[in-house]
Amino acid sequence: MHRTAAGTGATSAAGGERAESRSPAAGQDDPVAAVLRVLRGGERFLVCSHSRPDGDAVGSMLALGMLLRQMGKCADLVTADRIPAVYRGLPNADWVQTTLRVHSHYDAAILLECDGIERTRLRGLEDLPLINIDHHLTGREFAAVNWIDHKAVSVGEMVYRLMLATGAKLTPEMATCLYTTLLTDTGGFLYGAVRASTFALARELVAAGADPIAIAHEVYFSVSPSKLLLLGAALRRLKRKGRLAWLWVTQQDMVRSCAAEEDCEGIVNIALGIAGVDVAVFLRELPEGLIRLSLRSRGVVNVAEVAARLGGGGHGNAAGCTLLGPLPRAIEEILSELRKAADHTAARRAEMA
């Protein structure tokens, strides 16, 4: 396994705000220190994330893998599903292996953006020491070491802070991967926990070598013909009622469009972009008959709470879950839940007025 010596220490102009807002309460162990103890005490690590990896998952895995190798550690990066095409140009993307089972012995497995080992769809994790690093509102403590920060805009931000704590060098390759996590998990800096320190971090990553224009073009302007065909199918079914919009595709649409799972990414944002719409839903029929949902909100409704009630999770403005089919039943169920959530939010605001 390739190893390199640790580089010079990195500093952060934005770190002051982050450190102040995330310092552990008295009597609690610093989760960053707890993670570092495991990393410094071990030699061989597995890095993985959720199935169907998105930009935050891929960028964070790659940056963490580079950090571990800079620390002189062995790091294997694994996902159950292949990396989407738009992220295969990231530095060292070929490090990521696709498999459904891990066999080797590791000092620990580091799970990024997961609320449990089931989210990885990887077998063989059950007997490994686990480190859980997550920023979702629905994140939960399931590992030996848990670092959950709901204020982080991406897990990539947390990997960056871990890098600062190690004194490692922020290379252009790491900066590129970490900037990708910021860009994609905020929908182009449009939602999530975006604040002044987010842009301060983006500035540092650009100063370290990330090219924001090239990254944005690769992510948002490299659309496949199959995705456009799938989008057309979804738009033909677009529905709106009041401030709620929804659209869907069938498994037959996926086959006709020659679409891959990654082609479904971002379609829900088209519906959310309609003037006057506060909440949007995209439904995708799976081959086995289940219905996968992507939920987006402008902030009026906390879609993470809605998704959690249905067995899913995510962020307040971006979440997901999977329901039983058929499509009409799933549409009726999610619309009912969203309307109840909207009514509850309106009632709370009326009480506070």
pLDDT tens-digit series, residues 270-315: 999 999 999 999 999 999 999 999 999 998 899 999 999 999 988 8
* Contacts for 238 with CB less than 8 Å, ≥ 6 apart: 245, 246, 247, 271
3-state secondary structure of 20: helix
Using the CB atoms, write b or e for 120-152: b if 16+ within 10 Å. bebebbeebebbbbbbbbbbeebbebbbbbeeb
Q: Taking a C-beta distance cutoff of 8 angstroms, is the pair 238, 247 a contact?
A: yes
SS3 sequence, 138-155? CCCCCCCEEEECCCCCCH
CA–CA separation, 87 and 93 (whole Å): 8
Q: Which residues pair with 246 in a beta bridge?
A: 239, 281
Q: What is the mean pLDDT of residues 18-39?
A: 66
7: pLDDT strictly greater than 50:
no
Q: Where are the chain's structural domains? A: 15-219, 225-352
Q: How confident is the model at residue 17 (pLDDT cuts 50, 70, 90)?
A: very low
Burial 228-246 (b: 16+ CB within 10 A, else e): ebbbebbeeeeeeeebbbb
What is the predicted pLDDT for the residue at 76?
96
User: Is the confidence at residue 16, as pLDDT, over 90?
Assistant: no
Fold of 225-352: Diaminopimelate Epimerase; Chain A, domain 1 (3.10.310)
Beta strands 130-134 and 108-112: pairing type? Answer: parallel
The pLDDT > 70 percentage for the chain reads 91
- Tell me what the pLDDT averaged over the chain comes to: 89
Give residue-wise pLDDT tens across range 108-139: 999 999 989 999 999 999 989 999 999 988 88
Of 33, 49, 29, 31, the closest CA to residue 41 belongs to 33
pLDDT band at 345 (very low <50, low <70, confident <90, very high): confident
Per-residue pLDDT, averaged over 165-174, amounts to 97
Taking the complete model, does pTM exceed 0.85, yes or no?
Answer: no
What confidence tier does 353 reach under pLDDT thresholds 50, 70, 90?
low
**Helices of type H across 12-110:** 15-22, 31-41, 55-70
Taking the C-alpha atoms of residue 12 and residue 159, their distance in angstroms, rounded to an integer, is: 13
Q: Residue 19: its pLDDT value, please?
A: 35
Q: Which two tokens stand for residue 294?
A: 């992507």
Q: Which CATH number applies to 15-219?
A: 3.90.1640.10
- Flag whether pLDDT at 160 surpasses 80: yes
Residue of 275, 79, 95, 267 lying closest to 187 (CA atoms) = 267
